[in-house]
A and B are shown apart, each in its own frame.
Chain A
Amino acid sequence: MSRQLRTYSSELILVGLIVLAAVWSSGLSPYFLDTSNLLRSAQFFVIFALMAFGLFPVVVQGEIDISLASTLAVGSVLFALLSVRGVSLFAALPIVLVATAALGAVNGLLVAYAGLPSLAVTLGTMGAYRGLAYLLAGDSGVTGITPDYRLLGSSWVGIVPSSVVLALIIAGACALLMGTTSFGRYSYAIGSSPAASRMAAVPVNRTRVAAYALAGGLSGLAGLVWVSQYQSARGDNADGSILFVLTAVVLGGVSIKGGSGRAVGVLLAVVLLGTILTGMQLANVPGTSQTLVIGALLIGAIGLPRAVQLIRQRFGSGQLTAPAGE
């Protein structure tokens, strides 16, 4: 039992923080504890959640992808264009997902086979894909989305918005993918030690490309959610949101150095960020304070365990831990 607790300690901390945030938020604003409003607000975070689940395996492998928001824009613009041209959603879905997965795969190929640093590669493609999205969208963007494309953002399963259900399904699929399949095991292995994985005959390059393609595809799917919720698409869609996505992944207990982290954690982190932001916005807290709180939360959550350890080392009397010379 206690071992279980320890393995899931970061998730438990997140749950605790969510509860705290919820209590705090309901104190901030009397409108917070309203189920239908909460679910409506949850809808807003689906786009970020999908990108976060795409980024998650990439980070587990010890890499990063900051081009995802640009990939989303390519996806949303493609969906919008196909919708306006009368292509049915069932035909458009595979086309766009393959296209955005291909954009992701380009990142993956450059990182895996050419051995380039992922931050630099995706810094480049972030700009390039954004340019592509502007090019496709034209100056005025695309509007007049047909109803079938809007269904996802304007339908409910019981009282839960469909897009939220989609995010939960993707979360479940992501957890299964990383927890039970060989792709998942390979990803953790690569993240812990790429060299050792190579020696253990793990198909490192293929697994990397797959992770990037998956991230691209999920961003494309997030593009569909964008189009369905906001009924339009422009080249600048989701510009700047990668910082939020990265915050969610890291806050979810996924080590940026690779090799650890779980899908549940990412989901909980999105919920936590969503709770805090929704609470503050319902209380009309100025945007500046929101930025400050999120930044401080990120630093605090990641730095706190180590800070506690350091303080214990210095002031704790009997229980000195092993010197940190590893």
Chain B
Amino acid sequence: MSRIQPSRRVAGLMAFATAALVLTACSTQAPGSSGATASASQSGGSAVKAKIFMAPKFTGLAYFEVARKGGEQAAKDLGIDFKYIGSDKPEASAQIATLTNAIPQHPDALVVSAIDGDAVAPALEQARQAGIKVVTYDADAAVTARDIFVNQLTYELAAKTMLDAALLNSPSGGLVAFISASPSAPNHAAHVKFMKQLMDTDPKYASLKYVSTVQFAGDDATKSQEIARNLMQAHPDLKVIISSSAVSAPAAEQAIIDAGKGGQVFATGVALPSSVRDFIKSGNSKAFMMWDPAELGYIATVAADELVKGTITGKEGDIVDAGAAGKYTVGKDGEVDYNKPLIFTAANIDKYQF
């Protein structure tokens, strides 16, 4: 026992000494950060190819793969050196690692769909300090962390479109329940908030009522189906299940059909046409909604390229010219609203090959 005492004291002393050393030597100035700014800032001029990285929330989801194709198309049209980066893990820390390691490679711009808009903000701010332009698409980061956010649909328009799709499925209205990805997915939470508001106030949607508790399925098909079945049991008068998750909406519809309730209960919300084509063709479902992710990726990449070239700066009133994909005005807080909702029905679903 006696042998242990002194070593413990030594340990304490050493810890104290290191702590003291740390406190005295502490600084809040990033070492070498001034140098990084200079090396990355690149003068405009089309002679040099812009180097642009696109980082989805995580790789492996078909939706982001479609957006990637749009980015690659823009790269071809505009002569951009384009790379698609990211982890296959749906975790904020994995995306932070991806972004942190993108900075030393000095891309001219990052095009990012933020998995946790606040947690990735410091990494994106670092990128901006190093002279990298930051464009967010699909899911925004904190306003100070990016130059431009290309929003597929404003939250309110998305909410309206989903409710329109719900009414196409169930014209007489009825009870609506929600499945979101997780309590911490801000766009899903905002969609639900606006949908509830619209049902409460807008006479167009007065025939719809809602279950106030939101269920969460974490973008997992199995979980979404279990919840869909349980929701049908919990509310025998349920007419529509709405989800902002492109995984949950089709999975829930499948569960409804398998429970023999196809055509009586409907799932709708965001979904890729390829995953709901069979439901719509068989007549079990009448409408899902989305936007064109490829065009979204295209516009975001074009916006990044224009920021790099200096044709726009991201201030209110600037115009992003995406050629055939249209012209878009930068609004308040650097937000560009793409706002072209698509509702897929039996009449038009074959037009969309993604």
Let me know if chains A and B touch directly in the complex, using CB atoms closer than 8 Å: yes
Residues of chain A touching chain B, judged by Cβ–Cβ distance below 8 Å, are: 29, 31, 34, 36-37, 40-41, 44, 47, 134, 137, 139-141, 143, 151, 153-159, 162, 165, 169, 172-173, 176-177, 180-182, 229-232, 234-241, 277-278, 281-282, 284, 286-288, 290-291
Is B353 in the interface zone, CB < 8 Å from A? no
Q: Is the CB of B183 within 8 A of A155?
A: no
A-B Cβ contacts below 8 A, count: 149
Q: Is the CB of A232 within 8 A of B29?
A: no
Q: Is the CB of B88 within 8 A of A156?
A: no
By a CB distance below 8 angstroms, the chain A residues around B295 are none
Q: Is the CB of A139 within 8 A of B92?
A: no
By a CB distance below 8 angstroms, the chain A residues around B28 are 151, 154-156
Is B83 in the interface zone, CB < 8 Å from A? yes
By a CB distance below 8 angstroms, the chain A residues around B1 are 182
By a CB distance below 8 angstroms, the chain B residues around A31 are 104-105
**Interface flags, B317-348, vs A, CB<8A=1, else 0:** 00000000000000000000000000000000
Q: Is the CB of A162 within 8 A of B22?
A: yes
Query: What's the nearest-Cβ distance from chain B to residue A152, in Å?
Result: 10
- 12 A-B pairs with CB atoms under 8 Å apart are A36-B32, A153-B122, A159-B32, A162-B22, A176-B11, A240-B91, A278-B97, A287-B86, A287-B89, A288-B59, A288-B60, A288-B88
Q: Is the CB of A173 within 8 A of B101?
A: no
Q: Which chain B residues (272-328) contact chain A, with CB distance < 8 Å? A: none
Q: Is the CB of A180 within 8 A of B184?
A: no
By a CB distance below 8 angstroms, the chain B residues around A236 are 92, 116, 182-184
Is B66 in the interface zone, CB < 8 Å from A? no
Q: Is the CB of B184 within 8 A of A41?
A: no
Given contacts A241-B91, A290-B87, contact A44 B97 (CB under 8 A): yes
Q: Is the CB of B59 within 8 A of A41?
A: no
- Report, nearest first, the 5 A-B pairs whose CB atoms are least far apart: A232-B118, A287-B88, A281-B101, A287-B87, A230-B119
Given contacts A141-B184, A156-B29, contact A165 B22 (CB under 8 A): yes
Identify which of B13-21, B71-79, B242-250 touches chain A: B13-21
By a CB distance below 8 angstroms, the chain B residues around A154 are 28
Query: What's the nearest-Cβ distance from chain B to residue A109, in Å?
Result: 26
Query: What's the nearest-Cβ distance from chain A to residue B73, in Å?
Result: 20
The closest CB in chain A to the CB of B116 belongs to A234
By a CB distance below 8 angstroms, the chain A residues around B116 are 141, 230, 232, 234, 236
Q: Is the CB of B184 within 8 A of A234?
A: yes
Is B230 in the interface zone, CB < 8 Å from A? no
Q: Is the CB of B186 within 8 A of A140?
A: yes
A70–B103 Cα distance when bound, in Å, is 30
By a CB distance below 8 angstroms, the chain A residues around B47 are none
Query: What's the nearest-Cβ distance from chain A to residue B172, in Å?
Result: 31
Is B121 in the interface zone, CB < 8 Å from A? yes
Pick the contact of B25: A41, A157, A238, A240 (CB < 8 A).
Answer: A157
Q: Is the CB of A240 within 8 A of B89?
A: yes
The closest CB in chain A to the CB of B99 belongs to A281
Is B58 in the interface zone, CB < 8 Å from A? yes
A235–B184 Cα distance when bound, in Å, is 7
Q: Which chain B residues (73-131) contact chain A, with CB distance < 8 Å? A: 83, 85-94, 96-98, 100-105, 116, 118-122
A197–B101 Cα distance when bound, in Å, is 47
Given contacts A141-B118, A231-B122, contact A134 B183 (CB under 8 A): yes
By a CB distance below 8 angstroms, the chain A residues around B90 are 240
Q: Is the CB of B121 within 8 A of A44?
A: no
By a CB distance below 8 angstroms, the chain B residues around A230 are 92, 96, 116, 118-122
Is B8 in the interface zone, CB < 8 Å from A? yes
Q: Is the CB of A181 within 8 A of B8?
A: yes
Pick the contact of B26: A157, A234, A240 (CB < 8 A).
Answer: A157
Q: Is the CB of A139 within 8 A of B88?
A: no
By a CB distance below 8 angstroms, the chain A residues around B121 are 230-232
Is B189 in the interface zone, CB < 8 Å from A? yes
By a CB distance below 8 angstroms, the chain B residues around A140 are 184, 186, 189
A154–B7 Cα distance when bound, in Å, is 34
Q: Is the CB of B87 within 8 A of A284?
A: no
Q: Is the CB of A169 within 8 A of B18?
A: yes
Q: Is the CB of B101 within 8 A of A286?
A: no
B7, B60, B83, B118 interface centre (most CB from chain A within 10 Å): B118
Q: Is the CB of A231 within 8 A of B27?
A: no
Q: Is the CB of B92 within 8 A of A237?
A: yes
Is B30 in the interface zone, CB < 8 Å from A? yes
A140–B192 Cα distance when bound, in Å, is 13
The closest CB in chain A to the CB of B83 belongs to A284
Query: What's the nearest-Cβ distance from chain A to residue B72, in Å?
Result: 15
Q: Which chain B residues (22-69) contact chain A, with CB distance < 8 Å? A: 22, 25-32, 53, 58-60
Query: What's the nearest-Cβ distance from chain A to residue B123, in Å?
Result: 8
By a CB distance below 8 angstroms, the chain B residues around A239 are 91
Query: What's the nearest-Cβ distance from chain A to residue B2, in Å?
Result: 12
Q: A31-B104, A180-B8, A278-B97 known; 4 other A-B pairs, CB under 8 Å?
A: A169-B18, A230-B118, A281-B85, A284-B53
Q: Is the CB of B89 within 8 A of A182?
A: no
By a CB distance below 8 angstroms, the chain A residues around B100 are 40-41, 44
The closest CB in chain B to the CB of A160 belongs to B31
